[in-house]
Structure 1
Amino acid sequence: MKRRVMWTLGIILALLALAGLALWIGLQRNAPAVLDTIDSIAGPSHDVSRVHEERFGEDPLQQLIVYREEGASGPLPVFIFFHGGAWAHGNPQDYGFIARNIAPQGYVVVLGGYRLNGSGRYPAMLRDTASVIGWVHENIADHGGDPGRIFLSGHSAGAYNVAQVALDGQWLEEAGVPDDIIRGVVGLAGPYDFYPFDTDRSRAAFESVGAGEESQPVNHATAAAPPMLLVHGEADTTVRIRNSRALEKALRATGAMVETLYLPGKTHNDPLLALTSPWRRNPQVFERVTNFMAAQVSVPVQPQTP
C-alpha cells in the first residue's frame, strides 16, 4: 500500500513538473498568449465577445479587434490598447485578457496592431497607431462606442506609441482625428525618454532611419496634453523607471494633468499582469487605472484655444 501511494505521488509530482516546464516554455515563446489562456480559465465570468475585426493595411499586423460586453447599453467610452514587444514582436490577437477585464467596467475595448521590425520602423508604428484611432473615431459608433470619449493605453513599446501620438499632434492630424476626443492616456512601463538610442532594439527601430530627439514623448509635453496616468515598476530593468519620471516632470512643468503609480519591487511586466486575472487579487493597479478613466469620462470637453 505504501509503495502504491509513493508511486502515485511520484506520478503526480512528475506531471506537475512537466506542466511547470510547459508553462515556462510557453512564457518564453509567447507570454501574452499564455496569460490570455490563463485569464480565460481563471478570470471572472463575463460575457465579453469579439464583435468586429478590421484590417487597415497590407501588413497582417495592421489590424484591430473590437470587444464589447453583451447587453451593455451604449454609447460607451472606448479603451484602445496597444501591445509591447520592443517594436519587434507582438500581436493584438494575444491580448484578449485586456478586453475581458476592461470591457465589464463599461467600455468598448479595441486592441490595436502595428507594423513591426523593418516595415515598422519610426515613424511607421506611429502612423499605424494613429490609423487605429482614426478608424475608431469614424466607425466605433457602429459597435456601441462613443467616438468622442476615447482612452489610449499601451504596455512598453505600445505605451511609447500612444504617448507620442497623444503628445505630438502631427500623427492624429494626419489621420484626421480631432485631438480633443482623447480623454486620457494610460502608459504601462513605457519608454518616453531614450535618446540617444542605446539598445539594439531602439537602434533598429529609430536610429536606423535617422530619428532624433523629435521621436521622444518627453520633448512634446505641453499644457494641452490629455490627462495621463503613468504606471511603472521601480525594479524594471527593461525600461527604466526614469522614463516615466522624466515624462512626469516634463508634463508637470507645463501644467498638464499627470498622475503616477510607481510600484516598489515590481518589474517590467507587473503593470500588465495587474490588469489580468488572477493577478487582480491585489487590485491596486487595476483600480487606479479604472478610477483614473472614470474621473475623465464625465469631464466636459474644453474648447481648444485657436
Structure 2
Amino acid sequence: MKNSRFTSFFAGFFSLAAIVMATPAALSQDIAPKIEYQLDVGLPYQSEEVIAGSEYAKTQCLVDLYRPIGVKDFPTVVYYHGGGLRNGKRAIPSELKNRGWAVVGVGYRLHPKVQHPVYIEDAAAALAWTFKNIASHGGDPTKIFVTGISAGGYLTSMVGLDKSYLAKHDIDADHIAALIPVTGQMITHQTVRVEQGIEPSRYRPTIDRFGPLYHVRKDAPPTYCITGGWGTDMLMRAEENLYFVSMMKLVGHTQIEHVVIEGADHARCGKECWPHVIGFVEKTLADLKKP
C-alpha cells in the first residue's frame, strides 16, 4: 500500500464546438483511427426551478461536455474541481482528453454564497444529468466514472456513498462504474465544519452525515483512493484515506484500493495522480469486457 504502484435554459448560450483530431494513446499512430471530439460549453444541469431562483446558480450550475464523435457506447468521466468548496471552476483536465472517452467538467456553487449541503446537491445533479443525457450523445450510461481532486475528491465520495443525493434524481449510486477520489477528505469537510461552527476547523475532525466515512457500505461502487505521501499530503490526507479504506473493507467492501504517491504534497498529488486515474479507468473497462 505504501508504494506508488501503483434543458434548456442556457443550452447553447456558451455552446462551443471545438473539433480536434486525436489518436487513442493505447493504439499505434499508424493503425489507429482518428477520432474527432466536440466540446459543448456551459450546459445547465440543475432544475429550472433552481436556476430560475438564483442568478448565481445560472453561472455556476453548468457543465462542459467533451465527447468523441462517431464513437458508440463510449465511457464518460465526470470531474469535480478542487478549491476547498470555496474556489475553483469547472474544467476538462487535459490528461483525460483524446482517449476515446467523454469528460464532463462540473461547476458547482461555492462557499460563502451557499452552504452545505448545496455543494453535494449540485454535484449529484450534474452526475444525474450525465446519466440521463450521455446516451443521446452516444455514450454508455453503465460506464460513468466519477473523479475529482481535493474538494472534488470529497464530492466524488459523497455522491457515491450517500445514496440519498442521487436518489432524488431517480438514479441509483450503485450504477456508477467507479469512484476515484483524489486526495479527498473522508471526514466531514473542513469548510462544512466552519459552517457548523466547529473551530479550529482544520484540526478538530468530525464525522457526521456530511462525511464519506459516515456512509461506509459494502455495496458501494468500486473505489480507488489516491493520495499524496504519508505525513506529507495536506492534513494527513493519506492517513485519513487509509482509515476510510480500512473501514470499507471492514464492512465487507471488496473492490477498494488506496494508492499513495510517496513524498507528494497536496499540490503534487493533484498533478501526478493522472496516470493512476487513467490506469484504473482502463483496467475497469477491460474487466467489464471479460465474460
Q: Could you say whether these structures have the same fold, taking a TM-score greater than 0.5 normalized by the shorter chain as the test? A: yes
- Are the counterparts in 2 of residues 166 and 226 from structure 1 also a CA contact under 8 Å? yes
CA distances 1:99-137 after superposition (whole Å, capped 9, x unpaired): x32132231100111110134311111111110011111
Cα 1:187–1:165 change in 2 (3 A) is same
Gap regions ≥5 residues in structure 2: 1-24, 26-34, 199-205
Alpha-carbon distance in 2 for matches of 1:72, 1:176: 29
Matched, 1:185 2:185: no
- Are the counterparts in 1 of residues 163 and 172 from structure 2 also a CA contact under 8 Å? no
Aligned amino acid, residue 62 of structure 2: Q
Gap regions ≥5 residues in structure 1: 1-43, 275-284, 302-306
Matched, 1:223 2:222: no
Query: Once superposed, what is the RMSD of the aligned Cα atoms?
Result: 2.6
- SS of equivalent to 1:133: helix
CA distances 1:195-244 after superposition (whole Å, capped 9, x unpaired): xx7x5x34334548xx9611110121111011111111111125632221
Q: Which of residues 164, 187, 212 is equivalent to 2:158?
A: 164
- Are the counterparts in 1 of residues 77 and 146 from structure 2 also a CA contact under 8 Å? yes
- SS of equivalent to 1:89: coil
Question: Equivalent residues in 2 for 1:135-150 (5 A)?
Answer: 135-150=129-144
Which residue does 1:88 correspond to in 2?
Answer: 86
TM-aligned CA deviation for residue 299 of structure 1 = 4.8
Which residue does 1:259 correspond to in 2?
Answer: 257
Q: Which of residues 62, 87, 102 is equivalent to 2:96?
A: 102
Matched, 1:237 2:227: no
Which residue does 1:64 correspond to in 2?
Answer: 63
**83-92 or 238-247, which moves further after superposition?**
238-247
When normalised by structure 1's length, the TM-score is 0.70
Which residue does 1:204 correspond to in 2?
Answer: 194
Alpha-carbon distance in 1 for matches of 2:138, 2:214: 36
Which residue does 1:4 correspond to in 2?
Answer: none
Alpha-carbon distance in 2 for matches of 1:89, 1:213: 23
Matched, 1:289 2:288: no
Higher helix fraction (1 or 2): 1
Aligned amino acid, residue 295 of structure 1: K
Cα 1:299–1:174 change in 2 (3 A) is farther
Alpha-carbon distance in 2 for matches of 1:262, 1:154: 16
- SS of equivalent to 2:97: helix
TM-aligned CA deviation for residue 152 of structure 1 = 0.5
TM-aligned CA deviation for residue 249 of structure 1 = 0.9
- Are the counterparts in 1 of residues 228 and 268 from structure 2 also a CA contact under 8 Å? yes
Percent identical:
23
TM-aligned CA deviation for residue 272 of structure 1 = 2.2
Matched, 1:117 2:111: yes
Alpha-carbon distance in 2 for matches of 1:162, 1:87: 13
- SS of equivalent to 1:192: coil
- SS of equivalent to 1:120: coil
Aligned amino acid, residue 254 of structure 1: V
Alpha-carbon distance in 2 for matches of 1:117, 1:259: 31
Which residue does 2:73 correspond to in 1?
Answer: 75
